[in-house]
Structure 1
């Protein structure tokens, strides 16, 4: 263990450095997460992790930081607000309004700017280097949604907030619109005080979930979650869930948009999270027309790139099928023709979802599949 520093003073210094690096809050916790193991085991045994095999393959190492990174004694946690700098007042109502426009593509707020993995990882690494400058050689490893780490558990234990009923971490001064990251270190630091739960009797997040993925307080079946279906899931989206996806093509913010605590969500000071052109307010039909080359160009440095062009088209096809059943006239005809143009796509996955979209549009309207309408 390193010597020659006062641990409490070092934590205060780390928190100051964290603020300079645009982190909203820095906390510290120990490595004993044994109390979280039964819940993790039960979640995995129920199969709620779906296709996310990595969640199970690492077993309980997720709840054992000292096994994941031998020598770890403390975990420094960080959170970073991500609302864009120019986010207007009443942003929650504005975002909910997008769901009422079937032809508009809805991308989760966090994914409209630069890939947060890169932003947080770089700044966490800088923070670790500053700590090493202060204490000498430092055994450490930086994480941001990048390894078998129980991020929400570590965050709640270190005072970043409490686990909301939607399973996300909630903070009284920042809602839930923030990213989490960690630095596993081999020095003993005093733990931050956890905070109490302030959800009370509110069940807004549970009630709003389009697919009923939130089974109860802090019980999430990821297999039904739209964020999982549009991002993590590589295969066909289950047919019974497709109509519930609506016009959401990458992620879902519904449970956060209705959360009363998000009236306190903070704007990020960083330009990294400002929305890119085309990822807010665009028409489904325009995004569906992107070639793979255009998709790669427009999503360079974006978290969206990780799903690839095939799943991008899959997701948009589902949204277009839902839009077909809700619009009429010129807009409906344009959606129909765009889907027909992709009906012979080389990917069987894309073809399946395009066929479903055309069938859904025809079934809802009573118009035979393949018929143009004006």
Structure 2
């Protein structure tokens, strides 16, 4: 069974996007980390057909495009790069027109068995095939430019996902192995060779729900973990510290010492009648804002922390009557809501500035 669906059965996957940082609440600092309070009862409701919303529906050769299983969205040079089910697609951010797509699934050298992760390096789309033990690089036109085998690299420290640092190295989340309590984060060189373990986080399971783990902020790499509320910053010296803590108050999932691993926490949430805030993901940071998505009974939610004022706000979005909200991201200080309606996938943007007008 799909792990995300399994985890979300308590919530019925309503997929209503909510805002994540509590309305009109002031954040606090503790031990150099910023605590962002979230009140699930105080979220602003935003109509996706409202005056600030701009909607485009994706098309391919003039026909409506339905992207099968949107796993990840990247934004670069005026286009959205979408990682679907073993397929990469690029759409113009203004018109929604498909500019490029490729799959290449197979076992040949220039194909991938599974599209596990995707990221951007300069003008290159990088594909990680964990099962095929290789990384493939494509240009923005979908042309394959390089295939790098990693079968003999970092064999004792395999990675699940990667993020490239400013210095050209990579930070990777380690694959869960037979030995428990391994260090979770590793450093790899530009050729994907293992360099060293970093930080002291211990890997608990191999669960992978498809959400991005890493994101670049202006000066560092931010990292999050499933089912926990800490957001970590990894600096250029590979120091790992908690930068933000998302506090749902009485709706936090308890840190039960009897939980053996993340699966115990999942079972606890699924079997509970309490509305917990969880699955903080799709994190984003700019000079002005820190934003993230989370999940509660009302669906997927968006939170905004205003750095200048220190205030936080949260939002729930109402889609078109027949549409379902699939996910929410933030790019260039604009919320991006992914909806699907019958045979089409649509993208709606609302600037964070306009969202915060509801918080004044």
- TM-score normalised by L of structure 1: 0.25
- The structure with the largest strand share of the pair is 2
Higher relative contact order (CA 8 A, sep 6+): 2
Q: Which has the higher helix share?
A: 1
